[in-house]
Structure formats: structure tokens, C-alpha cells
Amino acid sequence: MISAPDVVAFTREEELGDELYREPPLPEEYSVPLFPFAGHGANPWAKVASSKFSRDFILISEFSEQVGPQPLLTIPDDAKVPGSFDLNYFSLRIMSVDYQASFVGHPPGCAYPKLNFVEDSKVVLGDSKEGAFAYVHHLTLYDLEARGFVRPFCMAYISADEHKIMQQFQELSAEFSKASECLKTGNRKAFASELEKKLKDLDYTRTVLHNETEIQKKANDKGYYTTQAIEKANELASVEKSIIEHQDLLKQIRSYPYRKLKESDFHPYEPECTLDQAGAGSEQDLAASDPAEPGEMHLYSRLPSYTPKLIKAKPAKCFDKKLKTLEELCDIYFFTQTLDQLHHIERTFRGDVCYLLTNQISRALLKQQNITNFLFEDVSFLDEKAPENRDRGCQGLSQDAADRKCSEESSTPKVVISLGSYKSSVECVPIKMEQDMDDPQEPAMTESITFEHQENLDYLDADLKGSISSGESIEVLGTEKSASGLMKSESQASLPISPSPQVGRSKVGSRRTVSEDSIEVLSTCPSESLIPEDFKASYPSAINEEPYVDDEEGGLRFNPRLNPDNTDEQEDVSNQENLAQIDSACCIGKESPNFLEPLPELGQKQCDEDGVVRIPPQPYRQAEQGLHSSFVGSPPCDSASGGLLPHELDSRYPTAGREVSRTSLDECSDSTSYISSAASTCSDRTPSPAHPVCLANERHKKKAGQNALRFIRQYPFAHPAIYSLLSGRTLVVLGEDEAIVKKLVTALSIFVPNCGAYAKPVKHWVTSPLHVVDFQKWKLIGLQRTVSPAGVNVLHALSRYSRYVSILDADSKTLRCPMYKGTLVARLADHRTQIKRGSTYYMHVQSVLTQLCSKAFLYTFCHHLHLPINERESEESVVNRRMNFLKLHLGLANEDIKIVQYLAELLKLQYIQEPGQGVNPLLRFDYVPSFLYKI
Amino acid sequence: MSALCPPPSPAVAKTEISMNGESPLLAATFAYWDNILGPRVRHIWAPKTDQVLLSDGEITFLANHTLNGEILRNAESGAIDVKFFVLAEKRVIIVSLIFDGNWNGDRSTYGLSIILPQSELAFYLPLHRVCVDRLTHIIRKGRIWMHKERQEHFQKIVLEGTERMEDQGQSIIPMLTGEVIPVMELLSSMKSHSVPEEIDISDTVLNDDDIGDSCHEGFLLNAISSHLQTCGCSVVVGSSAEKVNKIVRTLCLFLTPSERKCSRLCRSESSFKYESGLFVQGLLKDATGSFVLPFRQVMYAPYPTTHIDVDVNTVKQMPPCHEHIYNQRRYMRSELTAFWRANSDEEMSQDPIIHTDESFTPDLNVFQDILHRDTLVKAFLDQIFHLKPGLSLRSTFLAQFLLVLHRKALTLIKYIEDDTQKGKKPFKSLRSLKIDLDLTAEGDLNIIMALAEKIKPGLHSFIFGRPFYISVQERDMLMTF
């Protein structure tokens, strides 16, 4: 295995003799440290700690023609960040070489000065003594008064971690290229504007000189030119030459986009929020300008009123003049945008690189598991533009080209740049063209995704079909709308199965299991379920009943059954079409009266035809009213439901027009109408260089982790409480003090499935009596306990449902819920854990929940698990097989099985949902005996 | 520079190298800072091609640029700094290793650079570390060489009373050539045989209908488990390129896309050489049914390696990171010391023959059986084959598995970070960590630690280093009696 010459090396030790040892030892500078990570004070975090600056920062430097390299500004603009780090010295180091060396100025053989549009250079270098390493982005700006019209600048990302710079090189390069492009666009605009002013000045000067010459001519009666006249004539000629030169420069700066756009890797800066600011007027202007003849654009047409000045014949000396600041060199809008972008970069890349890397890896992996992400993942995290992923698929192109392509993919190109007086509309034209080119690819992609989805769906459908043959089960519906579904299903029993995924959604339907001492009722209420037609189709007609197989509990378990008929498919298709229309339309579609009319009828039918008590008794029709009101998209009348509508969605909800402001949901939901939510979403789209949602999420995670850690340490009955949440049983946290209740809810919220994605199953604070629909919407509720008459109502309502929900009393520190004897939750919430910080605990919970998701995924999609292997195989043996699988292959026992089954149920629903629709909470009641836990 | 410096000449010495396949490298250069003339290029290496992509003048211009600004160099003693340039104007990327050295009596700054077209940026970046590590080590050796040459040179002057210009500073070039050519070959081989960024699971063992269809169940478990325990660094050898490549692709499924781009498939016609620093590489056995691994290069790999033989279904692994790094450093030091002590050119030029220092006797039996079993990979393999192949289900399940591993690794780092206040205090609660993070199986801990090591280098040494070093010192002490 090991080559012989290498072995020979170690056989010669004896030959070396004492003579060698007398030689001077190898100088340390030529050697390598023996303990690169374990020397004195060395540890994996030491490098960053030993640097002179407290954290990474961005430095903008300039090579000034007057004073040489100098630092201009740092981001963040806080003297504490660079600390004692010598910015002057470092500026000198990074700006001492002109990496963009190419000719600018008056080339030989050319009549006029030539602008050279230099591309940015990127350099990674370091100062190992100071422990500072930098990604340096060199760029050149134009200044009419500068030598050669150019001002070299650089933007440097400075970090103490050398590996971080190289590991994040592509991402840094992409982000800094954006900032640079923005700055340069603004600079070109400012430069053009400066040229225009200069031309006006020159024009005015020429006129003045011309007039003076004419006057002199008239006054001159000597027949020859005086010295003064000759001087004036020379001056005039000089001004005219200058005008031609400046006109040429203006032409060059304006023709820049045309020349650059021919190059494949040009990446024009594209502000993300131009629509608001640019306005229709500028669009018209842009459309009106003829891109084929850029040089023909009128020079002065867009200039605001400017009073020309007379230019002196002799310019000021080089060192007398004051160089323009960076802000003056760039149009203010673009300058602000650049700073925003740099702040964004600083925020994005700050901190330990291991978190950055893991985030990037996690993002890529999460994108491969769309089906399970809704359970416990923060989808907004995925929606963020990831530089790493954007670069994917852009191989073969240069970095800039990749950036451009990917930025076009990730955001709709905004055609307009608010350019004010600058006619650079041409910069926008090719963006459109690119988009057109990309468009044909989109259907292809959608098609392939659909195909794959369909392929899997067929497989899943087969599973579903296989479990619907028994006639023994009893179907019990959990909501008011199911009866109509029964009617429909009978009448349409022979309709063919549509392969559409929407069809499958209703097939899962609602289910119920009944046993001697426990009844489990399950029903689906997808967000669209509040639309009557959907209800009609979505509930199977058969009443299925199955024996309860849990040996330990000795009871009967009624497994979920599915409708054997294909009855509802046809109906579903049409329903889904309607739904699709509603979804794709704005919220006005939701308010269409067409969808309101059948509601009361449905409510009636549910009790009449079924004959089974599907829901606990309700005192009056308030729930239906609530349902109705939430259905129509208006705020509910009472605050019992807290104003949260069943279709309340996360702000990142992908369906167009349905995005809801996250912040408005949490605290101000009582008064939030759907329309206002939609409006607030629009405002969320205003450009935001950082990720405020992400930052808020991070804070929330930390806080939730801290609270959760405290909870599991303080409450010995944390396990059954968490079990309740993981198994889909609603947990109500009851208490007088809002802050305490909210803290508990925040702590427990990290265990609630389907929390972060589309629906919002957590309600932090409710003050009014709860109703059955609330348990469908919310799986974790903070409820106010008051001594007032209203408070009695609240408790009364709660006691009515106490068999179906778990109740954590924050005041008396008690918990009433079913017993938990599994092991999964113990791994998740061990009160003896030595984890010190909330954020660490949150990460631990996340990894355990990911494992749990993986188990649920396997159980859901396991080959031949849900189908009879042959026709003779009984349903019972299929059930046994499932149980064996859960116990033997997944290593689950007792209540852990229920957790996985519940998650699998959600997965199944998610899978057969319309893509992008998300899952809505199940209304699920477990009539299992509850126990009272006390501290 | 001093009078000993050769006179400036417009013609720079150049070595043209014939490559078998396509070479992404445009050129390599060795330049130095002349105190009078500024940066000067001493030698150029370029692949022999019909089409000249970069003229010598351009190469010289670029190489000079890498040393520009180094007059302000502020480096730690003995540091070899890496500079990386993307010069869009010139459409090239340059990687420069800058170092100080004594040559011909003067202390000066030198730069060894490689130049690639800008279009190869995405290709090159995953291989950056491999290239830099290898060039860094040859510079370490070259620096000693230069220093010794200076001494010998003065000895000759004293003894012979004459100066021979041809002796001055030339011999470092063959030494650098000895590493520049392999780097070129490595890049060339990666151009043709690197593992793609995206791997189709249907090309791997994980697409089998059932576990054990393609290869033995235990073998697959050992291979993947050990592969993960050695930071995703594996060598797969076998007589059939197809079989080898299937395992290579399977193992690469457990790597990140950029790590895959730093992995190489097996060439069917004849085997590649072993290359230190690649994550996974497939190697073909020779006619005698063996493949000889170069000990030195295996030791110089940044991570320990798993050795997988697909013919006999054996899996062996190197010791964990902290031991590997310790052994590597001791080997490096002994190699450099041997260079320092070498008396003749013959001794210097015998690259593989190195002497050990007085205290270091490396264990040549670096590949050992897998000592620790895990539950993570075992459960994964037990479960994934329950999913129907041919759909995307297995890919999703694999992604979930990898996500769990990465999240556990990050949690582990954070746990240690909290416990030790970012390394200020020693870590003493390994037992608690195992229980809290559900890593009680030793193999599981190894897998997660290995993953954590990749994103937090030095973690192994920080956690396990001290007791290990103490035990080694005790052992060495006992050996002296």
C-alpha cells in the first residue's frame, strides 16, 4: 500500500550519526509549527480574537492624485470596529498597485481624449503580521477635473479570517460587483451631467468671447489685428476645441452601455425598487429614446435649469483645486444605494464563517426537500437570494455574466432606472431582451417539475387507493361542511380519476376513528376548504372503521380511511379550477359572493345527513358566523379568533397576491384585514439591502430557544406538553399574565409542526372564548384567564373542549394532557441538558426535528408499506406491517408512533396539495384519557 | 539586489511542458523583487501548445504585477502569503505565493505564481486549497535550498577565489519544476475527470433496488461511515474503472458541490497518480493487482484518508484529524530538517528519501480497520432502500440525512463554543456533549466531529489534542529508556 522509497526514508536514521546533531537546527522560520491548532492560546476561534479590529468591516479607499492612497470611509461607520488597526497603512497596501493599468487620457494618434472603460479587478491579499486579510474590489470612477479623468477607488472587505475570504470569494465578488456597478452607474450619470454643464459653460464662454471679438472687430479701424484681438481669437479657438473634446467625451460616456452590452458579461446595475421612483414618465422617456442612435440624443434637453458660467482661460493649478468627494462623484440616489448594498454585504458576511457555510449548505439541501420544509423549516430563509445558489447554473460564464444572469433569474427585471436627467435608457433595453430569452425555459422547467411531481403522485395515489377498500370504518367529519361532500360523492361515483394533484388533495379527506374509550376525529380543512364547493368534494362518503391496533393501550384504533370512490374527482377538478382562479387573483376574488352563498346550507347539512356528531356542541352559531366572516376575508367580529383568518399566511407565502405582512400578523392581527395585509406586503417589497425578516427571525429563534430551554428545565411535564404539539393536539396555555403566557407560547412554538411555513398555527394571546374552528387554525394558543364574567365564558368554553385539547395552566403550573411514554421527546427536551444558550438549544431542536421529518417522510413514501402486497392480503395485515415498520425500522415505540403518523399525515396532505398552496392544520381530536400533571 | 544578481535580460528562461490533455493553466512564473529594478521574472513554465494564449511579455507583465506592492510587505517571519487576483482587464486569474528568502546573499521577496484564464475561475476555486498547499510546501523546501546554496556559494568563493555565475541561484528552478509540473498535471486531470457538481443518484449504489445488489451491505456501510469519519476524504482502488467510479460517485453524494468538484473519477485506460488533497479519487490497480500509495503524499493530505478496495471489499482508515495533523507536521518538520542537514546535491535531490529527526518515528501502518461503529449511516442505509428507486424520493431522503449531519455538526461547534467561551477555557464535558447531542455512539461522534472539522478547522486538536500529545510524549519518553 505504501511505496517503498518512502519507507526507505526511515531506515537511514542510524546512519545520520552524531555529526548531524551538532549542526545548527532548522531555523523556525523555515519550519512549520508542530501544533497549528493547539499551541499556546491557539484554538479554532483564536485567529479572529487576536486581530486588532473587533469584527469584519468594509473599507473604501482612494488613490488620490494629491495625497496618494487614503481611507475614505468604513462600514459600519464606527471607530470601534477598526479599533487600533492602521487604516492608512492598509489603504497604502491595497492601493499601491494599479491593477487596472490601461491607458486613459490622450492616446497617441487620437485627436481627442479617450475614455477607457476599465473593468473591475478583484484581489485577495493579507497582512499576516496584522492578522488582516481582505477581498479588494478595484474600480475606477470618472471625474472631469481629475488627471486623465479617472479616480481609482477600491472597496475592501477586511476580515481576520483568511479562509473566510477565499471560501466566500464568489459570493463576495458577486455582491461587491453589484455595489460597484451601482456606484459606476451613478458616476457615469454625474459625469455626464458635469460634462453637460461644462459644455454649457463653454458654449456661454464662446458666445461671450465671440461677442467680444465682434465688438473688437468693429472697433478696430487700424486694418490689422491687435495683440488683444489675437489673444481673444486664440482663446475662442481653444474654447471651440474644448467644446468638441467635451462633446466627444459626452458621446463616449453615453455610448458606454452600447459597447458594454455587446460584451456577454456586462452586468448593468439594476436597482431593485425602481418602479416606485421612476414612474411612468421616465418609462415613456425611455421608450421614446432611440437606442440605435445614442449619440444623437439632444445634449441639453434633460438638464434642469442651469446658469452657465464664464470659464477662465487659465485653469487653477492642480494642487489648488479641491478634489470631489465620493458623494459628489456619484449621483446621490446611486450613492445611497451603493452604501445600502455595502451595509447589506457587511451584514451578510459578518460573523463566523462556519455559520455562513452551514447556512449555504443547509439552504441548498432544503431546496431539495420542498415537501417536508413546511413542517418545521423557516421558508423565508429559503426565499432569500443565496449568492451561492444564484451562481449555480451559471457555469462557464464569467463571474459578472453569472451575476447578471442569475440576478435576472431571481428577480423580475425592472425596466426603469430613475435617472432623472440622464438619458441612459439604453441600459435597460437588453434586460428585457434577456428576459425574453429566458422565458421559454420557464415552461420547460415547470413541466419537468410537474412531471416528477405527477410521477410521485401516481405512486402515492396508489397507496391511497389501497387503503380505502374496507367498509368497516366509520367516517366522522370534523367540520360543518362535510355532508355536502357525501352527497356529491354518491352521485359521481363512476367518474374517472383525474391524475391532477388537486384531486388527490380531497381524497385524503377527513377520517375518524372510534374505539371503546377513545375516539379520534380527523378532518382536513385546507385553506380553500372554507369554500363550499371544495367541501362538497373533499369528504369521502364512506364511513370507515378500523380496529385500534395499539396493544399497549388495549383500545381500538381506527386508522384513517380513504374514500374508495372516485366520486369527487370531477367535482374537485372544477373546484380546483375555481380555487386556482381565486388564488391567483387578488383578495377581491376571495370576497366574491359566489363563494359565500352555499355556506349556511353546508352548515345545516353537516348535521342532518351524517347523523354523527362531528363537532362538539356549539352554543350558538357564532362559530359559523366567525367562519363566515373569516371566509369572506373581513376581520372577524369578535376577538375570540383573534382576528386571524384561516387563510392567514406567512408573508413569504408564494401565491401571488396572498402575501401577508408577518409583523402585522403577530401583534396587530385583530384589526388586520386581508386587503390591508396584501397592501403591507407590497410595502415589504421595497428594496431592503439587508434581510430584516431574516434578522427578526434570528432574534425570534434565539428568544424562542431561550424560553424553551427555560421551559424544559422548569416544567417537569415538558415532555407530554411537547408531545401534544408534535402529535397535532392543540395545546392551550392559560394564564392571567400576558407576558408569562406569551413567553410560554414562544417557548413551545418551536415544537409546533407547520409553524414557520405557510399557515400560522400559533396564537400568542387570545382573550375571548375559543371555538372549534380555532382549534383547526391554531395548534398552540395563549389564552387569557380573567375573573370577569367574560372570563367565565372563556373558561367555560375551554372546559367544554377540554377533552380534545391539552391545557397548560401557567398560573397553577399544571398540565392536563394525554400521557407520553416515548423516547423521541426525551431526546428533544432533556431537562438535564448542559446546553447553555438558547440559540444552541434551538439548533439542537432543529436537528432532532429534521431527523423526525426524515422518519415521517420515509413512513409516508415507503415502498409497499401502505398497499396490500396481493389481493388476498387483509387490511389488518397491512396495518400490522405499518406498525412493524414504525417499530422495527424506525425504532419507534408507544406515543412516538403517533407523532410520526401525524407528521406523515401532514406530509401526505402537503404532497397532494396544489403545489405552492401549503397545508392547513388538521382539525383533530383525540378522545384519549388526559392526566393532570403538577409541579 | 547585490552585484551577484545576474544582469537584466529581456529573455526570461522558460520551460515548456508537454501535457497529455487540456491544460487549464496558462503559465507559472517565479519572480523576485530586485532592489534596483523592482520586480523581475526569473522563470516561466508554460504548457506546450500550438496556440499561444499569453505571450511571454504578457506573462512577465502579469508576474511583475504580483510582486508590485510587496515593498510594503509586512509578514510574520517565515510566512508564505497567498494573493489571488482576478484581473478582468487581462481576462486572467493569478494565484501568487509570496515569501521572503535568502538568495545569493540578499534577503528578498519572491513570488511563485500560476496564471489561468478567467473563464476557469469556477473550475479553479474548489482546487485552490490543493494547489496552494502543494506549492506552499515546495516553497518551504526551496527556501531552505536557496539558503544553503548561498552558504555553499560563499564557501566556494572562499575556497576557489572565483565566482561562477552559472552556479548562482539556478538550482531552485528544477526543484520548483518538480512540483509545478505535477500541479499542471493535476489541473489537467481534473479538467477531464473531475466529479460533476450534481450527481445523478441513479449512477450510484443508492439506486439499487435493494441494499447489497451492487456491493455487500457491510462493505457499503463501512465505506460510507469511514468516508464520513475521515472528513469525506477517500481513495477508491480497484481493477474495474466502472466499479470504482460507481463507488466514487456514491461517496461524492455525501460531499458538498464544491467538494465534489475537488474529487476525481478513475481513468479507465491507465491510472492517474494519487494526488494529495483531493476529496475522493478513484485509482485503477496495475496489472499485478496493486496500487502503491505514496506515503509522503498521503500524509500531506489535509485530512485523514479512507482506503477502499472494491475488489476485495476492504475499508481501512487513517487516524482521526488531530492525530493525522500531528503526524503530518512531524513528518514535514523531519523532511525539512533533513533538507537543512543534507550535505550534497545528491542528498537534496533524493526527494523521497528523507531523514527523521531524533524523536520521530512515524507509524507506517497508517491505514487501520474501522474501530468505531456508528448508528447514523447504518440507520440511513437500512431506511433508504425502503424508498422506491427511480423517483426523487431517495434524493430527498439523502438531502434530509445530510441536513441532519450538518445541523448536528453546527450544534456541536456551538455547544463547544459556549462551553469553552470561544476556546478561552479547555473543553471538559465531552460526556455531556455526547448525551446532550445524542452522539453516544463513538462512530456518530466521529462523523459529526469530522464534518465540524471541515467548517471549523482545529476542532479535533482543540478537543482531543492535549491528551493525545501528552500520551505521545509519554510514549516517546519511555522509548528513550
Q: What is the pLDDT of residues A905-929, one digit of tens each?
A: 888 888 877 655 555 555 666 677 8
Q: Across the interface, do B387 and A31 touch by the CB < 8 Å criterion?
A: no
pLDDT band at A447 (very low <50, low <70, confident <90, very high): very low
Residues 6 or more apart whose CB falls under 8 angstroms from that of A148 comprise: A104, A105
What does the pLDDT look like over B333-392, one tens digit per residue? Answer: 988 888 888 765 555 555 444 444 444 555 667 899 988 889 999 999 999 999 988 888
Least confident of A58-67, A761-770, B298-307, B440-449: A761-770
Q: Collect all residues of chain A within an 8 Å Cβ-Cβ radius of residue B417.
A: 45
pLDDT digits (tens, 9 = 90+) for A890-903: 888 888 999 999 99
Residue B174: how many CB atoms within 10 A of its CB?
11
Please say if the pLDDT value at position B175 is more than 50: yes
Determine the pLDDT at residue A491.
36
Q: Alpha-carbon distance B379 to A925, whole Å?
A: 33
Lowest mean pLDDT of A417-431, B39-53, B253-267, B274-288, name the range.
A417-431
- What is the average pLDDT across A86-94? 91
Q: What is the pLDDT of residue A720?
A: 93
* Measured distance CA(B377)–CA(B394) in Å, rounded: 14
Percentages helix, strand, coil for chain B (3-state, rounded to 5) are 50, 15, 35
Contact check, Cβ <8 Å, A837/B294: no
Query: Over pLDDT 70: what percentage of chain B?
Result: 87
Say which range, A135-139, A733-737, B19-23, has the weakest mean pLDDT.
Answer: B19-23
B427, B416 in Cβ contact below 8 A? Answer: yes
Q: What is the pLDDT of residues A152-164, one digit of tens each?
A: 999 999 999 989 9
Q: Cβ–Cβ contacts within 10 Å for residue B28, how many?
A: 27
pTM for the complete prediction?
0.75
- What pLDDT shows up at residue A505? 38
Mark yes or no for CB contact B353/A29 under 8 Å: no
| Apex A748 CA angle, A743 and A750, nearest 5 | 115
**Residue among A6, A119, A459 whose CB faces B388 most closely:** A459
| DSSP notation for A92-117 | HHHHSS-TT----B--TT-SS-B---
Considering only the beta carbons, identify the residue of A368, A834, A891 that sits closest to B396: A368
- Cβ of A102 within 8 Å of Cβ of B457? The answer is no
Instruction: Tell me if A850 and B86 make a contact (CB, 8 A cut-off).
Output: no
> Which among B88, B256, B456 is the nearest to A44, CB-wise?
B456
ipTM of the shown complex:
0.91
The tens digit of pLDDT for each residue in B460-469 reads 989 988 777 7
Binned at pLDDT 50, 70 and 90, residue A415 comes out as: very low
Instruction: Select from A13, A27, A366 the Cβ nearest to the Cβ of B403.
Output: A366
CB contact under 8 Å between B340 and A36, yes or no, is no
Predicted confidence (pLDDT) at residue A30 exceeds the cutoff of 60: yes
Q: Is the pLDDT of residue A583 over 50?
A: no
CB atoms within 10 A of CB A449: 12
Contacts of A701 in chain B (CB under 8 A): none
Question: Which range has the worst mean pLDDT, A384-398, B13-27, B363-377?
Answer: A384-398
pLDDT band at A778 (very low <50, low <70, confident <90, very high): confident
Predicted confidence band at A547 (pLDDT cuts at 50, 70, 90)? very low
Q: Look at B465 and A49 and tell me if their CB atoms are within 8 Å.
A: no
Task: Specify the pairing of strand B13-17 against strand B38-47.
Answer: parallel
pLDDT band at A186 (very low <50, low <70, confident <90, very high): very high
Q: Among A451-455, A486-490, A718-722, which is the least confidently predicted range?
A: A486-490
Chain B residues near residue A36 by CB distance under 8 angstroms: 325, 329, 458, 461
Query: Does residue A611 have a pLDDT over 80?
Result: no
- Read off the pLDDT of residues B85-111 as tens digits, 9 standing for 90 and up: 999 988 999 999 999 988 767 788 999
The 10 Å CB-count burial string (b at 16+, else e) for A658-676 is bbbbbebbbeebbebebeb
pLDDT at A860: 92
Is residue B305 over pLDDT 60?
yes
Given a cut of 50, whether residue A434 has pLDDT beyond it is: no
Closest in A173, A830, A844 to B411, CB measured: A844
pLDDT above 60 for A75: yes
Would you state the pLDDT for residue A584? 34
Helices (H), B14-127: 56-67, 121-124
Neighbours of B210 (CB within 10 A): 10
Which of B391, B402, B461 is nearest residue A456 as measured by Cβ atoms? Answer: B391
Assess contact for B109 and B73: CB atoms under 8 A: yes
Contact A43 B420 (CB under 8 A): yes
Which tens digit of pLDDT belongs to each residue from A226-279? 777 788 888 888 888 888 888 888 888 887 765 555 555 555 555 554 444 444
Per CB-CB distance under 8 Å, the chain A contacts of B326 are 34-35
pLDDT at A794: 75
Residue A700 clears pLDDT 70, i.e. is over it: yes
pLDDT of residue B139: 93
Query: Average pLDDT in the B297-307 region?
Result: 95
Gap from B199 CA to chain A (nearest CA, Å):
13
The arithmetic mean of pLDDT across residues A289-315, rounded, is 55
Contact A1 B292 (CB under 8 A): yes
**Nearest chain A residue to B137, by CA:** A32
**Which residue, among B124, B372, B398, B363, has the nearest Cα to B254 in the 3D structure?**
B398
Q: How far apart are CA A266 and CA A605, in angstroms?
A: 64
Instruction: Report percent pLDDT > 90 for chain A.
Output: 22
Residue A338: CB atoms within 10 Å: 26
pLDDT of residue B151: 60
Q: Which sign does the torsion angle of CA A349, A351, A355, A357 carry?
A: positive
What's the confidence (pLDDT) of residue A228? 77
Residue that the C-alpha cell 505565493 belongs to: B97
A31-45, A438-452, A611-625, B293-307: least confident range: A611-625
pLDDT band at B55 (very low <50, low <70, confident <90, very high): confident
pLDDT band at B9 (very low <50, low <70, confident <90, very high): low
- Mean pLDDT, range A857-863, rounded to an integer: 89
Q: To the nearest whole number, what is the mean pLDDT of chain A?
A: 66
pLDDT 10s digits, B68-90: 888 777 777 888 999 999 999 88
Q: Read off the pLDDT of each residue in A51-64 and give the average, rounded to a whole number.
A: 90
3-state secondary structure of A36: coil
Give the mean model confidence (pLDDT) for residues A57-78: 92
Contacts of A910 in chain B (CB under 8 A): none
Write down the pLDDT at residue A25. 80
